Amino acid sequence: MKRVRVLPSAIFALAILLASLTVVAWRQSTTRETMAELDAAERELAIAADEREERARELAGLESRQWIGAEAARRLGMRPPSEQEVVITSGATP
Protein backbone atom coordinates (compact mmCIF):
# COMPACT_ATOMS: atom_id res chain seq x y z
CA MET A 1 0.00 0.00 0.00
CA LYS A 2 2.89 2.33 0.59
CA ARG A 3 3.95 1.91 -3.01
CA VAL A 4 0.65 3.25 -4.19
CA ARG A 5 1.14 6.48 -2.21
CA VAL A 6 4.71 7.02 -3.46
CA LEU A 7 3.68 6.87 -7.11
CA PRO A 8 1.26 9.87 -7.03
CA SER A 9 3.85 11.90 -5.06
CA ALA A 10 6.53 11.09 -7.63
CA ILE A 11 4.19 12.02 -10.48
CA PHE A 12 3.31 15.29 -8.73
CA ALA A 13 7.00 16.11 -8.14
CA LEU A 14 7.83 15.30 -11.76
CA ALA A 15 4.97 17.55 -12.94
CA ILE A 16 6.24 20.42 -10.76
CA LEU A 17 9.78 19.91 -12.09
CA LEU A 18 8.59 19.95 -15.71
CA ALA A 19 6.44 23.03 -15.08
CA SER A 20 9.34 24.91 -13.50
CA LEU A 21 11.66 23.97 -16.37
CA THR A 22 9.05 25.16 -18.83
CA VAL A 23 8.72 28.48 -17.00
CA VAL A 24 12.51 28.92 -16.97
CA ALA A 25 12.76 28.19 -20.69
CA TRP A 26 9.91 30.62 -21.43
CA ARG A 27 11.53 33.37 -19.35
CA GLN A 28 14.86 32.88 -21.10
CA SER A 29 13.31 33.06 -24.56
CA THR A 30 11.34 36.17 -23.57
CA THR A 31 14.52 37.74 -22.21
CA ARG A 32 16.39 36.98 -25.42
CA GLU A 33 13.65 38.57 -27.50
CA THR A 34 13.63 41.64 -25.27
CA MET A 35 17.42 41.93 -25.44
CA ALA A 36 17.30 41.69 -29.25
CA GLU A 37 14.69 44.47 -29.35
CA LEU A 38 16.81 46.57 -26.99
CA ASP A 39 19.89 46.08 -29.19
CA ALA A 40 17.91 47.12 -32.26
CA ALA A 41 16.62 50.22 -30.46
CA GLU A 42 20.16 51.13 -29.35
CA ARG A 43 21.42 50.76 -32.93
CA GLU A 44 18.61 52.99 -34.21
CA LEU A 45 19.42 55.55 -31.50
CA ALA A 46 23.10 55.55 -32.48
CA ILE A 47 22.16 56.04 -36.14
CA ALA A 48 19.81 58.89 -35.21
CA ALA A 49 22.55 60.54 -33.12
CA ASP A 50 24.98 60.30 -36.05
CA GLU A 51 22.39 61.81 -38.39
CA ARG A 52 21.76 64.62 -35.91
CA GLU A 53 25.47 65.41 -35.72
CA GLU A 54 25.67 65.41 -39.52
CA ARG A 55 22.71 67.80 -39.76
CA ALA A 56 24.30 70.07 -37.14
CA ARG A 57 27.51 70.21 -39.22
CA GLU A 58 25.50 70.97 -42.37
CA LEU A 59 23.60 73.71 -40.54
CA ALA A 60 26.82 75.24 -39.27
CA GLY A 61 28.10 75.34 -42.84
CA LEU A 62 24.88 76.92 -44.06
CA GLU A 63 25.09 79.59 -41.37
CA SER A 64 28.66 80.53 -42.26
CA ARG A 65 29.31 84.01 -43.63
CA GLN A 66 31.17 82.56 -46.60
CA TRP A 67 28.26 80.36 -47.72
CA ILE A 68 25.69 83.12 -47.21
CA GLY A 69 27.81 85.55 -49.25
CA ALA A 70 28.25 83.05 -52.05
CA GLU A 71 24.52 82.25 -52.16
CA ALA A 72 23.59 85.96 -52.08
CA ALA A 73 25.89 86.56 -55.04
CA ARG A 74 24.61 83.53 -56.94
CA ARG A 75 20.89 83.93 -56.29
CA LEU A 76 20.47 87.68 -55.92
CA GLY A 77 23.50 89.08 -57.69
CA MET A 78 24.64 90.76 -54.48
CA ARG A 79 28.24 91.69 -53.76
CA PRO A 80 30.14 93.39 -50.95
CA PRO A 81 30.12 97.20 -51.29
CA SER A 82 33.20 99.01 -52.53
CA GLU A 83 34.78 101.80 -50.47
CA GLN A 84 33.09 104.47 -52.56
CA GLU A 85 29.67 102.98 -51.85
CA VAL A 86 30.04 102.94 -48.06
CA VAL A 87 28.44 105.91 -46.29
CA ILE A 88 29.09 106.34 -42.57
CA THR A 89 26.45 108.18 -40.59
CA SER A 90 26.82 109.58 -37.10
CA GLY A 91 23.76 107.82 -35.79
CA ALA A 92 22.37 111.00 -34.25
CA THR A 93 19.00 112.21 -35.47
CA PRO A 94 18.37 115.95 -36.09
Locate the domains of the chain by residue range.
2-76
What's the pLDDT score for residue 1?
47
Residue 90 has pLDDT above 50, yes or no: yes
Question: What separation in angstroms does the CA of 26 have from each of 14, 18, 19, 22, 30?
Answer: 18, 12, 10, 6, 6
| pLDDT, tens digit (0-9, with 9 covering 90-100), for 12-70 | 999 999 999 999 999 999 999 999 999 999 999 999 999 999 999 999 999 999 999 99
Higher pLDDT, 9 or 31: 31
23: Cβ contacts below 8 Å, ≥ 6 apart: none
Q: pTM for this structure?
A: 0.54
Report which secondary-structure segment, H or E, holds 8. Answer: helix 2-62
